Amino acid sequence: MLKRLGYHAIPPEDEALRAPLRALLAEHMAGRPADLRARSWMGHDAELSRKLGRAGYIGLTFPKRYGGGGRSAFARFVVVEELLAVGAPVAAHWIADRQSGPLLLNFGTEAQKERYLPGIARGVTYFCIGMSEPDSGSDLASIRTRAGRTADGWRLDGQKIWTTGAQHADFMIALARTGEAGEGKGGRHEGLSQLIVDLRAPGVTVRPIPDLAGDEHFCEVFFDGVRLAPDALVGTEGAGWAQVTAELAFERSGPERIYSSVVLLDAWIGHLARNGADAEATRLVGALTAELTALRMASLAVTALLAAGEKPATEASLVKDLGTSFEQDVPARIGDYLAAHPDEPVEEELLRTLFYLSAVVPSFSLRGGTREILRGIIARGLGLR
């Protein structure tokens, strides 16, 4: 059975990070409408990332010798919460901060850490993640992108797709087949490796794919005989599957997965303040607020496990599945409410926010592992697999 999650408070020294960060964001984001803020970690703003890096809010959990903050997971929780609370456009540095940086810290060589981590922490070096391919989504082990050893390093050929932020990123950490799959159960997880690809290298083509909201955040990336230096390999050759699994556990364990619709919730509360709230509206505000409170405490409990040096992969999957369900519920229920009150004028900004989120929320339970995959991980944690 799973570990019971407990009630945790954030240490005061980490709470102290809030006020100065809030002031920085208030200045940078003044006048930004709710529908833009709702894009939050889809919004690319290198200027903000540089400001955050200068002020020490990126790479908080990295050791100081790599330009990080040397702080705990609680400090990172506070910063992420503040950024998402107001819908700050954090996409530029987001993946490097939450996934690639921790991956390099765990599996990278000393030289790789020294080379990449300081730039990530300064908010100037951006990463994307090369996992999905045209025929490989949830079945990640079926990827066909190949990296082969050459006399002077590696040669990479193949294609990635749905790669978020590739058009803005400096580097990709790509999962590629470097050896043959093994025999038997789990054998297909063998022969995979992670490699750092400089996206400006010859042979790399990045093509953004417009999304249903009119934005461009994910991309196709083609590798045509891309030459990589010998030190492009991250971690151990052939151990890519275990490394990717660990990386996705970081992805699932932060408070990122409960707050994606909170800008809409606050915009709707603003609407109710102007138009009045009937009993139905009041109950809906309360129900959503109750769920959000419990989700936050659950996310904080996972953070406490991380801070204690544990690897709460299953618990993180529980919180992520619940969190993304909540994020998807918010526009559905607020939309229902507004549609049930057709005589109540709805501000155009609120409508734009509602329709933007309604369109993109299906992606919340796709990115970083689908709902069905997460529930499979939970079932394994329950001893059913």
Partner 1 sequence: MDPLFLDMFGRVLDDALPAEVTRAIGDGAPFDESWAAVAASGFLDALLPEAAGGAGLGMPFGLFFRLGEQAAALPVAETMVARALLHAGGVAAPDGPVALADLTNGRFLPYGAVARHLLVDTGGVLQLLPMAAVDARRVAGAGSTAAQLVGPGGAPVAELARPVDGLLPVVAVLYAAQMAGAVQRVLEMTVAYAGTRRQFGKPIGRQQAVQQNLAVMAEEAMLAAIAAQVGCAGDSLRIGREAAAVAKTVAGRAAGRVAALAHAVFGAIGISAEHALQLYTRRLRQWAFAAGGAGYWSGVLGADRLAQGAGLLSVDYVRRVAGGPAA
> What does the binding site for partner 1 look like in residue numbers (CB under 8 A)?
1-2, 4-7, 9-10, 12, 15, 81-82, 84-86, 259, 262, 265-266, 269-270, 272-273, 277, 279, 281-287, 289-298, 301, 315, 318-319, 321-322, 372, 374-376, 378-379, 381-385
Residue 285 Cβ vs partner 1, minimum distance, rounded to whole Å: 4
Residue 266 Cβ vs partner 1, minimum distance, rounded to whole Å: 5
Choose between 48 and 330: whose C-beta lies nearer to partner 1.
330
Residue 359 Cβ vs partner 1, minimum distance, rounded to whole Å: 22
Residue 259 Cβ vs partner 1, minimum distance, rounded to whole Å: 7
Residue 289 Cβ vs partner 1, minimum distance, rounded to whole Å: 5
Choose between 137 and 381: whose C-beta lies nearer to partner 1.
381
What sign has the CA pseudo-torsion 191, 194, 195, 198? positive
Whole-angstrom distance, CA of residue 114 vs CA of residue 117: 6
DSSP 8-state secondary structure symbol assigned to residue 99 = I
Q: Which residues pair with 153 in a beta bridge?
A: 150
172 phi, psi to nearest 5 deg? -120, 140
3-state secondary structure of 238: coil
Choose between 92 and 374: whose C-beta lies nearer to partner 1.
374
Whole-angstrom distance, CA of residue 8 vs CA of residue 137: 36
Q: Which residue matches tokens 């079945």?
A: 139
The backbone region for 165, taken as left when phi is positive above 0, alpha when psi lies in -120 to 50, beta otherwise, is left
Choose between 6 and 362: whose C-beta lies nearer to partner 1.
6
Choose between 60 and 292: whose C-beta lies nearer to partner 1.
292
Residue 24's H or E segment, with its range, is helix 18-29
